[in-house]
Amino acid sequence: MKILVCISNVPDTTTKITFNSDNTEFNTSGVQFILNPYDEVALSKAIDLCEGGKGTITVINVGEASTEPTIRKALAIGADEAVRIDATPSDAYFVAYQIAAYAKDKNFDMILTGRESIDYNSAQVAAMLGEFLDLPSISIIKKLDLNGNKATLSREIEGGKEIVEVEGPFVASCAEGVAEWKIPNMRGIMSARTKPLEVLAAQSLETLSVVEKFETPTPRGAVKMVDAANVSQLVDLLHNEAKVI
Amino acid sequence: MSVLVYVEHAEGTFKKSTFEVVSYAKAIAQQLNTNLVALAIGNLAADQLSSLGTYGAQKVLHVNDAQLGTFNAQAYTSILSDVAQKEGVTVVVLANSFSGKGLAPRLAVRLKAGLASGVVALPTLQGASLTVKRTAYSGKAFAHVKLSGANHILALNANSYPIHEQPVSAEVISLTSTAKASDFKVTVKEIVRASNKISLPEADLVVSAGRGMKGPENWHLIEDLAQSFGAATACSKPVSDAGWRPHEEHVGQTGIAVSPNLYIAVGISGAIQHLAGVSSSKTIVVINKDPEAPFFKVADYGIVGDAMEIVPQLTAAMKAYTQNG
Omega of the bond leading into A169 within 30 degrees of 0 (cis): yes
Query: Searching chain A, which residue's CA lies closest to the CA of residue B270?
Result: A14
The minimal CB distance from B197 to the residues A159, A166, A244 is found for A159
Pair B207, B286: CB distance under 8 Å: no
Interchain CB distance below 8 Å, B189 and A164: yes
Interchain CB distance below 8 Å, A214 and B141: yes
Class of domain B2-183: alpha beta
Domain boundaries, given as residue ranges, for chain A: 2-219
Which residue in B253, B225, B229, B227 sits closest to B240, CA to CA? B253
The minimal CB distance from B254 to the residues A37, A92, A128 is found for A37
Q: Which CATH architecture has domain A2-219?
A: 3-Layer(aba) Sandwich (3.40)
Query: Searching chain A, which residue's CA lies closest to the CA of residue B103?
Result: A127
Q: B200-324, superfamily in CATH? A: TPP-binding domain (3.40.50.1220)
Q: What is the pLDDT along chain A (245 residues), one digit of tens a residue?
A: 999 999 999 999 999 999 999 999 999 999 999 999 999 999 999 999 999 999 999 999 999 999 999 999 999 999 999 999 999 999 999 999 999 999 999 999 999 999 999 999 999 999 999 999 999 999 999 999 999 999 999 999 998 999 999 999 999 999 999 999 999 999 999 999 999 999 999 999 999 999 999 999 988 999 999 999 999 999 999 999 999 99
Pair A192, B270: CB distance under 8 Å: no
Interchain CB distance below 8 Å, A125 and B286: no
Interchain CB distance below 8 Å, B283 and A37: no
Compute CA A224 distance to the chain's CA centroid, rounded to the nearest angstrom: 38
Residues of chain B with CATH 3.40.50.620: 2-183
Using CA of residue A91, residue A94, residue A98, residue A104, what is the dihedral sign? positive
Q: Interior CA angle at B195 toward B209 and A141, to 5°?
A: 70
Residues of chain B with CATH 3.40.50.1220: 200-324
Type of residue numbered A71: I
> How would you class B310 by CB atoms within 10 Å of its CB: exposed for 0-12, middle for 13-18, buried for 19 or more?
buried
Q: What is the pLDDT along chain B (325 residues), one digit of tens a residue?
A: 799 999 999 989 998 999 999 999 999 999 999 999 999 999 999 999 999 999 999 999 999 999 999 999 999 999 999 999 999 999 999 999 999 999 999 999 999 999 999 999 999 998 889 999 999 999 999 999 999 988 999 999 999 999 999 999 999 999 999 999 999 999 999 999 876 678 899 999 999 999 999 999 999 999 999 999 999 999 999 999 999 999 889 999 888 999 999 999 999 999 999 999 999 999 999 999 999 999 999 999 999 999 999 999 999 999 999 998 6
How many A-B residue pairs are in contact by the CB < 8 A criterion? 277
Half-sphere exposure of A83 (CA within 13 A, CB side): 19
